[in-house]
Amino acid sequence: MSTHYKALARRTSPEVIPLFPLNGAVLLPACDLPLNIFEPRYLNMIDDALKTDRLIGMVQSRKAGLVSVGGLGRIIQFSETEDGRYLIVLKGLKRFKITEEVETTCPYRQAKVDYDLFENDADIHAAKQTSEALSESGRTDRSALTVAMKTLAKKIGVAVDWEALSEIPLPVLVNQAAMISPFQPEDKQSLIEAVSTDERRRLLIGLMHLYAGNDSPSSPRQTQ
C-alpha cells in the first residue's frame, strides 16, 4: 500500500485545491487524519471531493489569513451519521504552498498551490524500517525521539503501545507524532514547515521536552 501512495503522491499535483482551515490540525505525508465534518460549507466540500479526485488541502489560519504551507490529503474513508455529519479519514500525500486564493462560487475556499519545495515528501510513503535498524545513526535518532515521547506521554498521562510504535519507520513516526502531539497551532505549523524529516524530528524532540516541562500544555481541537 505504501508503494501505491508514493506513486499517487508523485503524480497528484492539482493546481487548484479546496481548503479546509482548521487550527491545531496539520496533515503530513503517509499519515491519517480523522475528521468530523458538520458545517454545511464543508459538507458541500466533501460532496464535491467525492465526485472527483477526493483531494482536500488541510491548512491552519492566523489573524492575517491562511498560513502558506499545508498538507494535501486524499479521502480514504467516508461514512455518514444519522444526524447528517460526515466522518472521514484523510491520507496525507504531500505538502503544498499556497500561491494565491482564487475567487469561487463555492461556499468553501480554494487556492492555487505549488509543490516544488516538497518533491521528497512522496518518499516517506515508502519508508522502510530495515535500513534504519542497520544504521547506528538511525538507532540513535529513534532512541532520542522515544525518550522525548515517553517524557511527554508521562507528563500528560497518556498510555502508549511502545512495542507497536517500534514497528513504524522513523520518518512516518516523526510525522505521526508531530500531528498528534498536544502542541499549540504555531508549533504545529513550525513542524509542517520543517524542510526535512530530520529537521522535523529534532524540532519535535525539542518541543516535546519543552511541553513536558510546562504545567499545562494546551491541547488543540481536532474537529470542525
Residue 153 belongs to a domain: yes
Verify that 109 and 133 share a domain, yes or no. no
Residue 217 belongs to a domain: no
CB count within 10 Å of CB 162 equals 11
Q: How many domains does the chain have?
A: 2
Verify that 113 and 133 share a domain, yes or no. no
Verify that 8 and 112 share a domain, yes or no. yes
Residue 221 belongs to a domain: no
Verify that 87 and 159 share a domain, yes or no. no
Verify that 6 and 77 share a domain, yes or no. yes
Q: What is the pLDDT of residue 19?
A: 98
**Alpha carbon separation from 56 to 74, 96, 174, 204 (Å, rounded):** 6, 11, 22, 25
Number of H helices and E strands in the chain, helices first, is 8, 8
CATH of the domain at 7: 2.30.130.40
Q: What is the pLDDT of residue 116?
A: 97
Verify that 9 and 117 share a domain, yes or no. yes
Q: What is the pLDDT of residue 131?
A: 52
Q: How confident is the prediction along the chain (224 residues), in pLDDT tens digits per residue?
A: 588 999 999 999 999 999 999 999 999 999 999 999 999 999 999 999 999 999 999 999 988 899 999 999 999 999 999 999 999 999 999 999 999 999 999 999 999 999 999 999 999 999 886 555 556 666 789 999 999 999 999 999 999 999 999 999 999 999 999 999 999 999 999 999 999 999 999 999 999 999 999 544 444 434 44
Verify that 31 and 118 share a domain, yes or no. yes
Verify that 6 and 114 share a domain, yes or no. yes
Verify that 43 and 149 share a domain, yes or no. no
Verify that 69 and 112 share a domain, yes or no. yes
* Residues spanned by the domain of 199: 126-212
